[in-house]
Structure 1
């Protein structure tokens, strides 16, 4: 008799698990996602800054799953999960499972402020958000090209969050603005990108050499960096920072953090303060051996118990390892503890400039 594994989420982690399990015809795999595509977030930041095209940022999930005889894709919205009944409530019915993999990822965490602000803002983790940002900035540049008066007006963009996402978006956008205006013999002096860092430095926790090189690059591009301050409140088109300074803004990008996907909020599984599902060293959940959590949905730790950053690398590794442990369970073998590692981090800093940390060596400059 065959086995049935359901994967919730066509994320980096979900796809990695699906590909591993697809190699075994005795396992029927069902992949469920609310979108018919996987959004490549690593490419999405380049879409925002117009450094890549729309089609380079997505993977069709129906087309991908069609390559495997034992994989079925369902374009459905996940509404709830009942671990005791082993049932997933969808927008058009229910789906049962023998083993469940939760890989729904995370969503952008927004600030508490007037809802009207969100008309002039967007997160950067979704395709919808990336396309909205790209179209908005293209339109703004067009208006400035057509009107001398408009070109002289100040235009402030605030990026809340100075981690990897915020820094890459700020550098990519400012580089695009600078290049665009140079090619059209215009000045970009009225366009200001403000990068807000709550810590004493951008890229907090990374190697000092990487932080130094990124700071120098942002300074050269004319990105305005604000450190040791948080966005305290937002009213109309003005941001009040925790250091009592105010910045007028025309558009805001939320890149300061993530939170759990809505479908996991009421699931009866143990979670950490960020809403991520707590997992065992085998990536199964403590109370339900038939449920695994991977990628951004899970509180992933390395062998020393240190929290792993939510990167595509760790997501893919967790997906592959969870699939391996599921195969071991089905073959009545002992599961293996996960050993996920960050093999290196590359930070795109506008154009062909990048900073790369390989652990034992760090390089930065034009590639």
Structure 2
């Protein structure tokens, strides 16, 4: 017979069936990341493996998959906000989804520790037989002062919505601004990075702003969109002729190109360039540089320029037969020796290879090499214009734009999403651009919490996710079932678990109606880094309590 123990690892548990024969446990495949690489790996595994052969688990911080190639169109409103995303549970119906952050991966113990949910401060642990790392990259502002505080990244649906709202807010303010210099700053938008992502963002943003400007009483020529790129030309991935065509189209539409320069720093009022030039602006978007995700950085395996080193079968070096990596986080060599670019067409083919190789390992069969070379490249330039190179044929203008839309519409997962996007594009041809600003508030990093007498703030052994200050009322501290202290207004607690990255060493329970101020782990860390006096005070408090 076949049974599912819920715990990965062959032979773990010594289960036997009624006839006294050992029961074969299902293998568990854990996939980290819900982008093209992760989702398409899960879909391929669902096709290749029978339910009784393996359990498929996918961990992602959101419960949806983002169709990245069309993300820039959300900014201009030519596609509905939710039409570029699809629920992972519907794309991968047999896959068990965990909407969590990954805390750490223990390669030796074959376990993945997941951060707690917002409802209960308890970490979860997943054992695996086979691990797939498809964590992507993140925008890394570490080397550029002020960028983390003042630049907008562009990688997620939230980033696209935030940029759209920022552009509309700038138009609203500029419409009533009497200071000419400040009005010019409000209407200046700087985008860093001249690759596909940067070019598509600046093209969509420029089109959107110029179409919307008359509704605010703003002349179209007051809109200034600036694209900053460190190379000799934009779109270095494309042939020179197509890249030069793209530059001419953008310049004709009012986009100012700053080549052979890069953004080196930012303030709330301006973008600072490496050449020394300052561009006054209130909106700065950066699509570069891309750095490894924290999960990838933490893995103690071989890397190439921050990416996971993999072999021809996409197995991670030193973890053959157990761990595979694909997508932006992996350094993958194609058959011609070049690095595989971070594109959707490559990620989906890599996913097919990884899924086939996991199935081969499970069945004791030989693995296959990744041998996809690419079909071509395409990039949108905004309103009815694009550039494309398909199977060596170069196309530009309206024909390339039609091809770009057709290809990506066909690649969109799910018939419902295909129909919605097609309808969005059709209505955009006939109606004015949408000017509704959807205000969204980011998750509060400092919140107020109220507890009645007898309610528990957290329990001993819980994951430490917040630092607390007692505003009113009081709480008791209980360790191993014994009450050891009572805290009142002005007292703090919870810092030890954050500093030591350890579980809570005591239970905290309200003894009367109590109001607390809660500071998230990330905000607590930033306070420690920016305020040495606060760091010293916390260290002294921990020393006293430990003693």
TM value normalised by structure 2: 0.63
Q: Secondary structure at the match of 1:281?
A: coil
Partners of 1:43 and 1:56 within 8 A in 2: no
Moved more, 276-285 or 231-240: 231-240
Q: Secondary structure at the match of 1:265?
A: helix
Q: Cα distance 1:151–1:351, how it changes in 2: closer, same or farther (>3 A)?
A: farther
Q: Secondary structure at the match of 2:220?
A: coil
Q: Cα distance 1:240–1:119, how it changes in 2: closer, same or farther (>3 A)?
A: closer
Deviation at 1:119, TM superposition (A): 4.7
Deviation at 1:182, TM superposition (A): 5.3
Deviation at 1:113, TM superposition (A): 4.1
Give 2:245's aligned residue: 213
Which residues in structure 2 correspond to 1:324-363 (within 5 Å)?
324-363=356-395
For residues 89 and 8 of structure 1, what CA distance do their matches in structure 2 show?
11
Q: Secondary structure at the match of 1:134?
A: helix
Give 2:72's aligned residue: 45
For residues 347 and 162 of structure 1, what CA distance do their matches in structure 2 show?
12
Q: Secondary structure at the match of 2:366?
A: coil
For residues 172 and 238 of structure 1, what CA distance do their matches in structure 2 show?
22
Partners of 1:113 and 1:235 within 8 A in 2: no
Moved more, 285-294 or 256-265: 256-265
The structure whose Rg is larger is 2
For residues 73 and 323 of structure 1, what CA distance do their matches in structure 2 show?
17
Give 1:130's aligned residue: 160
Q: Secondary structure at the match of 2:284?
A: strand
Q: Give the total of aligned pairs.
A: 361
For residues 393 and 106 of structure 2, what CA distance do their matches in structure 1 show?
47
For residues 221 and 158 of structure 1, what CA distance do their matches in structure 2 show?
15
For residues 84 and 313 of structure 1, what CA distance do their matches in structure 2 show?
33
Give 2:36's aligned residue: 12
Partners of 1:49 and 1:169 within 8 A in 2: no
Deviation at 1:186, TM superposition (A): 4.2
Q: Where do 5+ consecutive residues of structure 1 fail to align? A: none
Cα deviation, 1:235-260, whole Å, max 9, x if unaligned, reads: 44223322222211211111123111
For residues 161 and 148 of structure 2, what CA distance do their matches in structure 1 show?
15
Moved more, 243-252 or 159-168: 243-252
For residues 94 and 199 of structure 1, what CA distance do their matches in structure 2 show?
45
For residues 314 and 22 of structure 1, what CA distance do their matches in structure 2 show?
20
Q: Secondary structure at the match of 1:277?
A: strand
Moved more, 151-160 or 201-210: 151-160
Does structure 1 residue 58 correspond to structure 2 residue 58? no
For residues 256 and 283 of structure 1, what CA distance do their matches in structure 2 show?
26
Q: Cα distance 1:309–1:178, how it changes in 2: closer, same or farther (>3 A)?
A: same
Partners of 2:150 and 2:266 within 8 A in 1: no
For residues 74 and 268 of structure 1, what CA distance do their matches in structure 2 show?
24
Task: Note the aligned Cα RMSD (angstroms).
Answer: 1.9
Give 2:20's aligned residue: none
Does structure 1 residue 98 correspond to structure 2 residue 129? yes
Q: Cα distance 1:223–1:95, how it changes in 2: closer, same or farther (>3 A)?
A: same
Give 2:108's aligned residue: 84
Q: Match for 2:169 among 132, 135, 139?
A: 139
Partners of 1:282 and 1:337 within 8 A in 2: yes
Which residues in structure 2 correspond to 1:101-116 (within 5 Å)?
101-110=132-141, 112-115=143-146
Q: Secondary structure at the match of 2:221?
A: coil
Q: Secondary structure at the match of 1:286?
A: coil
Q: Secondary structure at the match of 1:213?
A: helix
Give 2:196's aligned residue: 164
Deviation at 1:118, TM superposition (A): 4.0
Q: Secondary structure at the match of 2:298?
A: coil
For residues 65 and 180 of structure 2, what CA distance do their matches in structure 1 show?
37
Q: Cα distance 1:150–1:167, how it changes in 2: closer, same or farther (>3 A)?
A: farther
Give 2:13's aligned residue: none
Moved more, 325-334 or 219-228: 325-334
Give 1:30's aligned residue: 57
Ranges of 4+ aligned residues in structure 1 off by more than 6 Å: none
For residues 106 and 240 of structure 1, what CA distance do their matches in structure 2 show?
25
Partners of 2:189 and 2:282 within 8 A in 1: yes
Cα deviation, 1:298-347, whole Å, max 9, x if unaligned, reads: 11221121012101111111111110111111121111110122212221
TM value normalised by structure 1: 0.93
Higher RCO structure, 1 or 2 (CA under 8 Å, sep 6+): 1
Q: Secondary structure at the match of 1:22?
A: helix
Partners of 2:32 and 2:133 within 8 A in 1: yes
Q: Cα distance 1:167–1:359, how it changes in 2: closer, same or farther (>3 A)?
A: same
